[in-house]
């Protein structure tokens, strides 16, 4: 199972929010690059970087942090937050992102996202599906759409998307366990999906439960920063 630490960035700092609420910001480090280096030294191969300033302002903001992470580590980085134009998409790739996560724009402008999928390839595009009560949320989780999760996934998976990052907003930052049943239902419906489960991971047992549900990958952050998971023990059981 692929394990992906998350670094969320506001003002160049490593932070975490609860349920996407910016008022709950908690700073864990003033040096996200150092955190990335620590994750690499432990044995992780992937990193999920979210530009929360970008998600709020609808264009990439923390590009310098991304550039430093990709130049000072060999981690495979997927980057999201605020990518609404091809200029921003290209900017992320030029800064060294191996993959980009597209969320709000995938809801609002599917034709454009499918064009990018054809141009850049399925291995470089991750579909972001942030879900609340079965429906996809957009614009930094501040706005609800009328699009149900499962048809949304089906429409993109049928047109070539393979990587999906699905976050249950109600679980995000809560350390109360992931929505394993939701992710299991996704894998049953779309066994070809390279699903990345996100939100709520609080222990190694949570990772074990996701693996038992045949989920290929998981993103987690707060459990790391709050010391809920012994990372060395985790990586002994799930070597990357």
* Contact yes or no for 117/109 (Cβ under 8 A): no
Which region among 100-104, 130-134, 179-183, 187-191 has the lowest average model confidence (pLDDT)?
A: 130-134
Q: 173 pLDDT exceeds 70?
A: no
Question: What pLDDT sits at residue 140?
Answer: 52
Mean pLDDT for the stretch of residues 64-92: 96
Question: Other CB atoms closer than 10 Å to residue 123's CB: what's the count?
Answer: 11
CA dist., res. 218 & res. 197, Å (int) = 5
Question: What pLDDT sits at residue 133?
Answer: 86
Mean pLDDT for the stretch of residues 68-75: 98
Sorted by where each begins, the domain ranges of the chain are 2-237
Q: Is 130 a catalytic residue?
A: yes
Q: How many CA atoms lie less than 13 Å away from 53 in the CB half-sphere?
A: 14
Q: Is 94 a catalytic residue?
A: no
Q: 124 pLDDT exceeds 60?
A: yes
**Nearest one of 77, 91, 199, 191 to 137, comparing CA atoms:** 199
Q: 103 pLDDT exceeds 60?
A: yes
Give strand pairing partners of 217: 2, 196
Query: Which entry of 130, 168, 172, 206 is annotated as an active-site residue?
Result: 130
Give strand pairing partners of 49: 7, 79
Domain at 2-237, CATH from 3.20.20.70, 3.40.50.720, 3.40.50.300, 3.30.70.1020? 3.20.20.70
Average pLDDT score over the chain:
94
Question: What pLDDT sits at residue 77?
Answer: 98
Residue 153, Cα to own-chain centre: how many angstroms? 16
Question: What pLDDT sits at residue 143?
Answer: 58
pTM to 2 decimal places: 0.93
Question: What pLDDT sits at residue 137?
Answer: 85
CA dist., res. 158 & res. 160, Å (int) = 6
Question: What pLDDT sits at residue 19?
Answer: 77
Query: Which entry of 8, 88, 172, 206 is annotated as an active-site residue?
Result: 8
Q: What is the pLDDT of residues 23-62, one digit of tens each?
A: 999 999 999 999 999 999 999 999 999 999 998 888 999 9
Question: What pLDDT sits at residue 174?
Answer: 66
Question: What pLDDT sits at residue 82?
Answer: 87
Give strand pairing partners of 144: 137
CA dist., res. 31 & res. 65, Å (int) = 9
Q: 131 pLDDT exceeds 80?
A: yes
């Amino acid at each position: 199972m692929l394990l992906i630490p998350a670094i969320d960035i506001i003002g160049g700092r490593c932070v975490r929010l609860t349920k996407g609420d910016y008022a709950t910001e908690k700073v864990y480090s003033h040096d996200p690059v150092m955190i990335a280096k620590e994750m690499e030294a432990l044995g992780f191969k992937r990193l999920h970087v979210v530009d929360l300033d970008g998600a709020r302002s609808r264009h990439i903001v923390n590009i310098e942090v991304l550039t430093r992470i990709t130049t000072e580590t060999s981690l495979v980085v997927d980057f999201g937050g605020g990518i609404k134009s091809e200029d921003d998409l290209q900017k992320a790739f030029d800064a060294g992102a191996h993959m980009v996560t597209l969320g709000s724009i995938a809801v609002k402008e599917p034709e454009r996202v499918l064009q990018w999928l054809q141009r850049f390839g399925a291995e470089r595009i991750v579909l972001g599906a942030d879900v609340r009560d079965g429906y996809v949320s957009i614009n930094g989780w501040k706005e609800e759409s009328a699009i149900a999760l499962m048809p949304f996934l089906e429409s993109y998976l049928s047109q070539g998307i393979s990587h999906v990052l699905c976050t249950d907003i109600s679980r995000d930052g809560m350390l109360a366990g992931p929505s394993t049943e939701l992710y299991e239902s996704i894998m049953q419906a779309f066994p070809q999906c390279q699903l990345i489960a996100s939100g709520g991971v609080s222990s190694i047992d949570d990772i074990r439960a996701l693996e038992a549900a045949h989920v290929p990958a998981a993103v987690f952050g707060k459990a790391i920063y709050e010391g809920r998971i012994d990372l060395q023990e985790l990586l002994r059981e799930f070597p990357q």
